[in-house]
Amino acid sequence: MKAETLWELYVEAYPEQKNKEYEAWAYGAAPDELALLTVDGVKRATASGYDLYEAAGEPIPQAGGHSIILDGKGQAVCVIVTTNVTVVPFNEVSAEFAYKEGEGDRSLAYWRAVHETFFGGEFGRAELPFSETTLVVCEEFEVVYSAVELSPLRAFT
C-alpha cells in the first residue's frame, strides 16, 4: 500500500487529522523487522543523528508530528505520532530509551553496540565525525493506525 493510501484511510477513520502533514520513511537498518516491531508495539522509539538533520537542512522530529512507517519495499505499514523528542550525547542515551527502541535484548549495551556501528556508517557516508559525545535525536512515538496485512513482514522474523 502506498503512503498516500494509508494516510487517506487514517484520515477517513480520524477526520480531525485531515489538515495534518506527515512524513513517510523507512528505518535505516532492517526496515522490515523494525516496521514489524513497531506495528506490534514493541518498538516505541527510534534514534537518529542530530548532525545528519543539520547537514541535510531538515528539522528534527517534533512531538505531535505524524509519520508513516514504510517497509523495505516502500510499502506503508502504519501511522505513528511522535510523543517526545530529546537530544542527548550518544553516551548519555538512557537504558529506558534503549528498552523502548525494542531491538535485540532491549539492553543499553545492545543499543550502544548496534547504534555505534550504524551511526558510524551513516556519519561516515555524510563525511561527518562520530564519537561518544555526538548528539542523538531520541524520538518516542505511538502507533495510531495500521491497516496492512502483516504476513509478508513476518517472513523476516
Please say whether the beta carbons of 31 and 24 come within 8 A. no
Query: Quick one: which of 101, 150, 125, 122 has its CA closest to 49?
Result: 122
All cell numbers assigned to 64: 505531535
Tell whether pTM > 0.85: yes
Phi and psi, residue 142, nearest 5°: -135, 145
Pick out the chain residues at pLDDT < 70. Answer: 147-157
In 87-102, which positions are buried (b, 16+ CB within 10 angstroms) versus exposed (e)?
A: ebebeebeeebbbbbb
Q: Which domains does the chain have, with CATH numbers?
A: 3-149 (3.10.400.10)
**What share of residues in the chain are helix, strand, coil (percent, to 5)?**
40, 25, 35
**pLDDT tens digits for 52-88?**
999 999 999 999 999 999 999 999 999 999 999 999 9
